[in-house]
Structure 1
Amino acid sequence: MYLAKVVGVIVATTKNEALVGKKILIVQPLNTDYNPIGNSEVAIDSVGAGTGEIVLVSTGSSARQVFDEEKNPIDRAIVAIVDNIEVNN
């Protein structure tokens, strides 16, 4: 899992049937100081996240399990909306 900020929405009227009814969002990975790292990515929302929110993103088979569908094209799923981060160094 990793932290990310929702930076956009994708609208796709024609898509794989496993994606029908699911919100597709663009997320920007972040470090624990909320600074962007790496490239933006596409993730499927499972928690009702919106643009500008900080979220946790799960990847791979863990992302597919969020939707109880082992054989689908989902590689990243938004699994939580983050309220606060505390890091003790």
Structure 2
Amino acid sequence: MYMARVIGSVVSTQKDPSLVGKKLMIVRPIDSDQKAIRFEQVASDTVNAGIGDNVLVTRGAGARRADGDSQRDAADVNDCTIVGIIDRFDK
């Protein structure tokens, strides 16, 4: 799991069936000083995050299970999911 900031959204009318009905957001990983690191990615949103929110993101198998749908299978193409909204950073 890592921290990221939501910087935009993606609209895709043609997509894999496993992504139908999912809100897709553009996220950029950040460090604990809230500085951008690495590159932008697209993540499905399970927590109704908005542009400008700092969020927790998971990837891989955890991302595929994050929406709580027990019917998911290996054909699910989701590899990046927003699983939490960060309220604050305590250092």
Same fold per superposition (TM over 0.5): yes
Distance across 2 between alignment mates of 1:82 and 1:41: 18
Instruction: Spell out, residue by residue over 1:51-78, the C-alpha distance to the aligned partner (whole angstroms, 9 max, x if none).
Output: 1100000110000011332320011100
RMSD in angstroms over aligned alpha carbons?
Answer: 0.8
Q: Percent identity?
A: 43
Gaps of 5+ in 2: none
2:48 pairs with 1:48: yes
**Which residue of 1 is the match for residue 89 of structure 2?**
85
Distance across 2 between alignment mates of 1:12 and 1:35: 29
Spell out the pairing of 1:1-89 with structure 2 (5 A cutoff): 1-67=1-67, 68=69, 69-71=72-74, 72-87=76-91
Instruction: Spell out, residue by residue over 1:14-62, the C-alpha distance to the aligned partner (whole angstroms, 9 max, x if none).
Output: 1111111100110010000000000011100000001110000011000
Distance across 2 between alignment mates of 1:84 and 1:40: 22
Q: How many residues align?
A: 87
Q: TM-score, normalised by structure 1?
A: 0.93
Structure 1 runs (4+) greater than 4 angstroms displaced: none
Q: Secondary structure at the match of 2:47?
A: coil
Q: Which moved more, 1:65-74 or 1:5-14?
A: 65-74
Q: Secondary structure at the match of 1:70?
A: coil
Q: Secondary structure at the match of 2:18?
A: helix
